[in-house]
Amino acid sequence: MQLPKNIQELGEIFRNAHCPELSEFKGEYLVDMLTLPSFKRISHRKFFYHEDAHVKGYNMFFTDIKWGSFFLEQGVCEGKNSVKAVIINYNIDGNLFITRGIRDYVRCIERGILYIGRFKYVLMGKLYFLGYFSLSKVR
C-alpha cells in the first residue's frame, strides 16, 4: 500500500487505523519517514524481540549499524482526537540523552504487515509532533 505524504491525509489514516497488540511486533520492519527526509537509502529498519514478557527493540542502519534501543508499551496518543496506540519508548539507559526523548505512537493499518506511526519528541516535559512514518514487515 502506498501511503500519501500529506499530513492531513496521514492524520486521517492514523485515526482510522486500530491499536495493535504488543505481541504483534516481532522481527524486522522497514521504516519509511513519510513527512520528513526518508532514511530508506541507508536501509533504516526496526527490530523487535520479546524478552522477559516485554517487547523490546532497536534501530538498524545499513547492514550492521545499531542505534537507539527501545521498549514497547500500550498508551494513548494525546491530541485533538486522542487514540490508543503502542508507544515505542526510547527512554532507557544506554541511549544518548538526545535519543531518550523519542516517542513513537504506532497504529495498525494491516495486522502483521503495515503500521503507521507518529514521531514525537519530549522536550522540557512537553511532547512535540515531528512527523509520520510507516513500518512494513520484512518477510
Higher pLDDT, 38 or 3: 3
Per-residue confidence band for 36, with pLDDT thresholds at 50, 70 and 90: confident
What is d(CA 24, CA 81) in angstroms, rounded to the nearest whole number?
A: 24
Q: What is the reported pTM?
A: 0.93
Beta bridge partners of 105: 87, 118
C-alpha cell at 33: 519517514
Task: For 57-94, write each residue's pLDDT tens digit.
Answer: 999 988 888 989 999 999 999 877 799 999 999 999 99
Per-residue confidence band for 24, with pLDDT thresholds at 50, 70 and 90: very high
Domains of the chain: 7-137 (2.40.128)
Query: Taking every pair of C-alpha atoms in the chain, what is the biggest distance, in angstroms?
Result: 39
